[in-house]
Structure 1
């Protein structure tokens, strides 16, 4: 798992957790619009339910 903070966004670079670290962050009250699934291609990100960048 690789996660870092850049420009007030949480960037998930790699996620090997079964349920997904992004969902765990949301459960811990991190807003979805502050989480970028960087391991997804930019053209797919708008459909993930999280922010695009």
Structure 2
């Protein structure tokens, strides 16, 4: 995804609960996870490879 922090905040606004905060894992790599209202865990990843493929 292009903006993990915006996606994380949107999911929280829609009723999800934070499970793992937005965390930098390496150069350009970020991850986070939330628990939706039904108890499902949703993982989020922001990758420099994704940004490079979808730039322009």
TM score, norm. by length of structure 1: 0.33
Q: Over alpha carbons, which structure has the higher Rg?
A: 2
Please identify which structure carries the higher strand content.
2
More helix by share: 2
